[in-house]
Structure 1
Amino acid sequence: MTEARPAAIRREVGDFLRSRRERVTPQQAGLPSTGRRRTPGLRREEVAVLAGVGLTWYTWLEQGRPINASTQVLQAVARALQLDDTERRHLYRLAGGPSTPEPEAAESDPGLAAAFQPVLDKLDPFPACLQTPLFDVVAYNRAYRFLFTDMDLIPPGERNCAVQFFTDPDWRSRYVDSDLVAARMVARLHAEVGADIGTPAAAGIVDDLRERSQEFARLWARHDVLPQRYETKRLDSPLVGQLRLNFVSTGVPETGHRMTVMTPADEATSRSLDRMAGLTVATARG
């Protein structure tokens, strides 16, 4: 990490490292127990010893001071904190490694949404959408339009899955396992934002959600990170009841967008999606 890194990113590095340090016990790190501790997890001096770096340097790193950190040193810190692959990539991105395109660039390409729209439409009755790295929905098909609510009634600037989930109780209620979804959504947003936290778009959505949702602020402060991956979710459709959907995402490397397709996880859901298509066809044409 070089001195040119913005202050907001340096603070994010420090907060992330501190949150990981507090989760590793001395026993997990192979250190002897030294009795009662005022704070959970490892002490800074223990991390410095395990990583083979100076205590002052590591302290400054956690404090967000403008210091240099080589890849080798970051690898040593990652090993000391027992970071998994996703957390390790997140740290490298924050500290100046490869990153996804800036969210502003991803949002500013209406041609991409237009190019994907025929593909999304062909996927009906499977719900499908195109999102930016910050969860803004920029294109969707008819099935997705009516999955949570009528998306066409939401102003384009507010069609963000995280914003809707944490600020609209009706949208959130569509997720059967909403508490689990909340934690995973914030962790994925953390991973997506990464080193882009200093950009206006990323900082804007994070600051807005922290102000509007205490739950989001609490989960964000945990600094958990998760990659986008295949998983099955249970949704309660306002039109056809409970659905079990496989969420499958495909990334667009040039822009950081991802296309998410929701396929039925069982026969009952498949029949329900067909029924929903019949119920919404007239509304969509109107």
Structure 2
Amino acid sequence: MTDRGELGRFLRARRERVGPREVGLPVAGVRRTPGLRREELATLAGVSVDYYVRLERGKETNPSAAVVYRLAEALRLSEAETDHLLTLAAHNAGVRPVRRVPARTVRPTALLLLDSVRPNPAFVVNHINDMLAANPGGLALYPGITDYPPERRNLIRYHFLHPAARELWVDWETLVAGSVAHLRAMAGTDPDDPELAALVGELCCKSPEFARMWNRYDVRPRGTGTKVYNHPTVGRMRLEFENLPLIDSDGQRLVVYLAEPGTPDHDAMVLLEMSAREAVSEEA
């Protein structure tokens, strides 16, 4: 069954995070409601209070683009968050994405890319961050991920549930917050995606931190950036990464990690690749 309440939950969560002073409203007396009141947001967005209440409660299912943009402006949403709000509004109005079962196989040319970028760690993930394929360094970048069977090697599951994860990244809290915000963006694109719903349900049950971050309704698409590792095999290393969409591949992305040649970070990255190759040789 389609969930038409996601738009209202998103609006309420973001309304509660905007203080009246941030939008130039006077504050008098004690406020029992966090953030903006419904009537304050309705006034800022130029809609009636009754209309906004129905929107937040899921009883108004087809807001115009103009209303959505005014709400986004009043809530001080980012461009990505505004796009998310528009997508939720379209979903409420009955506009559905064409869904097909996403492929879990990676095409041969993408597998060749994984091999060609070595010693740079690299892997291919799908829209919910299942690791579908990896080169030796990419697999070794996540120590212990092979404890999971291949079909359960999801990076967000690893972040929250694997015992090695909290010690692996120098700033675990920031890293996982970004992962949850990415997953929330995917949920806006297709709230009825059964694979995403199963993953979110599992993590909400098993990880209080995930549940807390999920209910913040932060939205942030995946981009590029830097991650700092305390890796048990090679020690501390700082790696840049790129997210490269694979065209016509059901939302698959190639993620590649890089370091400037001649730096200690690059040396650590090469050592990780070498140790991964040696481990594979010993197993064979």
TM above 0.5, yes or no, is yes
Find the counterpart in structure 2 of residue 156 from structure 1. Answer: 150
Find the counterpart in structure 1 of residue 257 from structure 2. Answer: 262
Find the counterpart in structure 2 of residue 94 from structure 1. Answer: 88
State the one-letter code of the partner of 1:143: G
State the one-letter code of the partner of 2:246: V
Residues 115-160 of structure 1 deviation map (CA, whole Å, 9 limit, x = unaligned): 3111011111111111111111111111111112254453122110
State the one-letter code of the partner of 1:205: L
Identify the match of residue 212 of structure 2 among 200, 203, 218: 218
Q: Post-superposition shift, 1:234?
A: 0.7
Identify the match of residue 118 of structure 2 among 119, 124, 127: 124
Find the counterpart in structure 1 of residue 231 from structure 2. Answer: 237
Find the counterpart in structure 1 of residue 49 from structure 2. Answer: 55
Contact 1:232 1:265 in 2 (8 A): no
Find the counterpart in structure 1 of residue 269 from structure 2. Answer: 273
What are the within-5 Å matches in structure 2 for residues 96-111 of structure 1? 96=90, 102=99, 105-106=101-102, 108-110=103-105
TM-score, length basis structure 1: 0.89
Residues 145-184 of structure 1 deviation map (CA, whole Å, 9 limit, x = unaligned): 1112254453122110011111111133211211111222
State the one-letter code of the partner of 1:262: Y
Q: Post-superposition shift, 1:7?
A: 4.4
What are the within-5 Å matches in structure 2 for residues 1-286 of structure 1? 7-8=2-3, 10-96=4-90, 102=99, 105-106=101-102, 108-110=103-105, 112-149=106-143, 151-254=145-248, 255-264=250-259, 267-285=263-281, 286=284
Residues of 2 paired with 1:187 and 1:263: CA distance? 24
Residues of 2 paired with 1:143 and 1:166: CA distance? 21
Contact 1:116 1:139 in 2 (8 A): no
Residues of 1 paired with 2:260 and 2:227: CA distance? 9
Find the counterpart in structure 2 of residue 3 from structure 1. Answer: none
The answer to which of 14-23 and 90-99 deviates more is: 90-99
Unaligned runs of 5+ in 2: none
Unaligned runs of 5+ in 1: 1-5
Residues of 1 paired with 2:145 and 2:116: CA distance? 18
Residues of 2 paired with 1:75 and 1:123: CA distance? 42
Q: Post-superposition shift, 1:86?
A: 1.3
State the one-letter code of the partner of 1:169: P
Residues of 2 paired with 1:188 and 1:247: CA distance? 16
State the one-letter code of the partner of 2:268: S
Residues 45-93 of structure 1 deviation map (CA, whole Å, 9 limit, x = unaligned): 1111111112112111111225211111111111111111111011111
TM-score, length basis structure 2: 0.90
Residues of 2 paired with 1:31 and 1:259: CA distance? 46
Residues of 1 paired with 2:18 and 2:119: CA distance? 46
State the one-letter code of the partner of 1:218: R
Q: Post-superposition shift, 1:101?
A: 7.1
Residues of 2 paired with 1:66 and 1:253: CA distance? 37
Residues of 1 paired with 2:152 and 2:180: CA distance? 18
Contact 2:243 2:254 in 1 (8 A): yes
Cα distance 1:61–1:138, how it changes in 2: closer, same or farther (>3 A)? same
The alignment of Structure 1 onto Structure 2 pairs a total of residues equal to 277
Residues of 1 paired with 2:5 and 2:56: CA distance? 8
